Amino acid sequence: MRIGLAGLGTVGAIVAARLLQGAVRRAELVAVSARDAKKDRDIDLSSVDFVATPLDLVSHGKVDVVVELIGGENGIALDLVEAALERGKPVVTANKAMLAAHAARLSDLSFDGGVPLAFEAAVAGGIPVIKTLREGLVGNDIHRLCGILNGTCNYILTRMEAAGLSFEEALKEAQEKGFAEADPTLDVSGLDAGQKLAILSALAYGVAPNMDNIVVTGIEAVTAADIAFADAFDSVIRLVGLAERSGNGVYHSVEPVLVKRAHPLAQVVNELNAVSISAEPMGAVMLQGPGAGGGATASAVLADISDIVSGFGRPLFNGTVAAMTESASSFAPAREFYIRLELADQPGSMAKVTKILAENGVSIEEVVQRSSQAGDSHLPVVFITHQAENAALDAALTALEQESEICKAVLALPVFAEED
């Protein structure tokens, strides 16, 4: 089959080079679209048609399959994918933002038209988690899916842990090494991981993708002190995406959590990603590998091209989004929490804080307090709570924030719960 490729950035250039080398049997690169046709990309594209705009790939007489590697939630990327599907041409994309935001429209075009829309590269880079959910776990009842879905955040947190860096220092290092964008907001805010989780939940549970259903907290407030306190509890901090059955639906969250060092997710470091799936009758399975970078993403794109060329292409989902019946739940399971605050170095401060927690239904399991330095008016203190409901914790935090004379800089993180 003949391939039309939109986008010759880092990923697109690798995909183009591999196709020209014959890496995917029966797949021939015939046309490309890029902003600068004259740019030296160290690839011989003399046998390939350069088209003026990405949309020209859809009308190109030789193009059978469209590969979208432009990026962006809206704009030309969305226009290209919609036009290709309407024309009956299969699509391969790595664009999780577009899929999460426009799942309903794209699933209608793909499923109703019987046109494959492949997106392995959109979630967790080179880890074949989409194929695992669609094929390897068919017939299983998935009751929990969690993982490290953003390589930028994982790099920052593990460098803070390993080298004692501040958040700002670790972010700067990540940017210098190409693991973080110049504007890292989408990554460090947790939104990127949230978009990926929305896609995974649609596949695992049949919950219509909707970012409003996901509790998202980024890593910007995590400090070097939090990393050190986590170590005192034999734990590390990771940004974890979670989707699990709770109440009458599926609860979704992306947030920094304390993970015990003995847990496999604690061993996932730097830019690596990992996804853990618990299902019946399979049991537990964990996938780990590079979650970002040109090579990992290009590998997933090439695998999708191979599936389509071989006749194994599928629609976006196994049905339309409108037909998805599973509900999202806002009811978070009861969890232990890590609470860090700076407590006034004066008699009665600790007693008042513990009283506020108790009055709001939050009981304390462990306490770690650092020694004061000369001139310090506040001491860093951390509590690990027993299991508590989110509502109880929120009420306690609100009450603590009103006691500005005795405590400040309050931060709460869930403690990652291992399954029974």
**Which residues are identified as catalytic?**
196
Beta carbons within 8 Å of 323's beta carbon, 6+ residues apart: none
Phi, psi of 364 (to 5 degrees): -100, 135
Q: How many residues make up the chain in this entry?
A: 420
CA 258, CA 417: separation in Å to the nearest integer?
9
Beta carbons within 8 Å of 7's beta carbon, 6+ residues apart: 33, 34, 54, 67, 68, 69, 70, 71
28-33 and 117-118 strand pairing: unpaired
> What distance, in Å, lies between the first and last C-alpha atoms of the chain?
49
Beta bridge partners of 256: 239
Beta carbons within 8 Å of 236's beta carbon, 6+ residues apart: 157, 158, 161, 227, 230, 258, 259, 261, 266
Assess whether the previous peptide bond of 128 is cis (omega < 30° from 0): no
311, 315, 316, 313: which is closest to 26 by C-alpha?
A: 311
| Cβ atoms of 241 and 149 closer than 8 Å | yes
CA 124, CA 291: separation in Å to the nearest integer?
4
Beta carbons within 8 Å of 187's beta carbon, 6+ residues apart: 150, 152, 153, 180, 181
